[in-house]
Amino acid sequence: VTGEMSRTKRARMVAVEQSRFITGADGNNVTPYIANLIGRNLHKKDAHPLGIIKAKIENYFAKLPGDTKFDIVDNLDPLVNAQECFDDLLIPTDHPGRKPSDTYYVSRPGGREVSSATDTLLRTHTSAHQSTLMRSGKEAFLCTGDVYRRDEIDATHFPVFHQMEGVKLFDPALVGGTMSRDEWLASDGCKLVAADLKKTLEGLVDELFGPVEKQWRDDFFPFTEPSFELDIFYNGDWMEVLGCGVIHSGVLSNCGLSNRHGWAFGLGLERLAMVLFTIPDIRLFWSDDQRFLSQFKAGQINTFQSYSKFPPCLKDIAFWLPEGFEPNDFFELGRGVCGELVEKIELVDEFTNAKKGKTSHCYRITYRSMERSLTNEEINVMQEQLREQAATKLKVELR
């Protein structure tokens, strides 16, 4: 009975949520499939792997020596404007991350023209809240939320995932106050902030994984300087778990904090949880199946026992590309038609016919449910719908 009740309540909530995100406004590209996932708040569920890992990280920061207190923020609306998500972070107007091929816009009235206040979107990273929280006077915080990106489809990519943002500002008496950007970058204060950042995050990784091989690599973000990423060695390969850096002077002065300095990081909760709980597919985090949910307990890290893997079914679709074709648009159709029944969509062949001046793509679609065997019939229906919608909505020429 409780299951039924919560499903009804959930359906009502989804209807209200959807009207906020599928607005019909200019530039709106949020699909019903995505709108349906907003508000699930997996990171706030105590006995869900994402909630468990979030709590572990928050505990680690609470126990750090020193008197920095990290405020916990985990309830901010994923609907933000371009000012917060991009401009405040010095992300240039022509950055690929701003393109509607990569980002879910709720409203984008200017079309190609960027308008920071009226372009509203689903946050693509938790850094969208950095400046707002610093402006509000917070000195140190951990901000967690669901983030949205139009992206490829496979076992480690899902259009919605979760990030935790960490920020710590330092006492000017310790690292220095107002100075030019060049002076700051050359100063001992900047080195101290970078060293504290690395030490803090290495300690976190040790706490989560025990002794594990890790490596720092130089990275680039418009909003940190210098910038780094941290990889850990897992299953025979290096995996990126977070990006971070010393907060860019320009970001701070835009917040009215030109006399302050500090660090910031953003980590992917699914990536960490997949490793810690040995969860093989990112779609599982969204499962309502008791065989998944019943395996986890608040505060506990345990090895996930895979229930039987059902057989995959592979089908190809080949077509000639129209002008301006974006693969992400096709991946989106895949999620729209198949939901979580598609495991992977992969480009397996690409060629250009010089005479026709046309390029062809062939995509291989892996259909597989995490929960049951799919029938040939339902797979054929999805495949047919996908072909049809690719032709009508994306204007591809099926081969």
334 touches ligand FA5 (CB under 6 A): no
Of 267 and 386, which has the nearer Cβ to ligand FA5? 267
CA distances from 278 to 48, 130, 302 (A): 14, 31, 9
The least distance separating ligand FA5 from the CB of residue 395, rounded to whole angstroms, comes to 27
120 touches ligand FA5 (CB under 6 A): no
Instruction: Answer left, alpha or beta for residue 276, where phi above 0 means left and psi between -120 and 50 means alpha.
Output: alpha
Q: Residue of minimal CB distance from ligand FA5?
A: 268
145 touches Mg ion (CB under 5 A): no
224 touches ligand FA5 (CB under 6 A): yes
Candidate list 48, 56, 125, 248; residue touching ligand FA5; CB under 6 A = 125
> Which partner, Mg ion, ligand FA5, none, binds residue 264 by CB below 5 to 8 Å per kind?
ligand FA5
Interface segment toward ligand FA5; rule CB under 6 A; list 100-108, 205-213, 235-243, 289-297:
235-243
396 touches ligand FA5 (CB under 6 A): no
Query: Can you give the C-alpha Rg of the chain in angstroms?
Result: 22
Of 145 and 243, which has the nearer Cβ to Mg ion? 243
For the chain, report the end-to-end CA distance as a whole number of angstroms: 50
CA distances from 45 to 68, 136, 149 (A): 26, 27, 22
Interface segment toward ligand FA5; rule CB under 6 A; list 63-71, 160-168, 314-322, 343-351:
160-168
81 touches ligand FA5 (CB under 6 A): no
243 touches ligand FA5 (CB under 6 A): yes
Binders of ligand FA5 among residues 245 to 284 (CB under 6 A) are 245, 264-268, 270-271
Spell out where the chain has E strands.
71-73, 79-81, 105-107, 120-122, 140-148, 160-170, 214-221, 224-234, 237-247, 261-268, 313-320, 342-353, 358-367, 397-398
Of 255 and 374, which has the nearer Cβ to ligand FA5? 255
243 touches Mg ion (CB under 5 A): yes
Contact of 64 with 200, CB cutoff 8 Å = yes
DSSP lists the bridge partners of residue 240 as 231
Instruction: Give the single-character DSSP code of 154.
Output: B
CA distances from 25 to 21, 28, 109, 330 (A): 10, 6, 7, 22
157 touches ligand FA5 (CB under 6 A): yes
Q: How many CB atoms lie within 10 A of CB 74?
A: 17
Q: Residue of minimal CB distance from Mg ion?
A: 243
The least distance separating ligand FA5 from the CB of residue 397, rounded to whole angstroms, comes to 30
* Binding stretches for ligand FA5 (CB under 6 A): 125, 127, 149, 151, 157, 161, 163, 165, 221, 224, 240-245, 264-268, 270-271
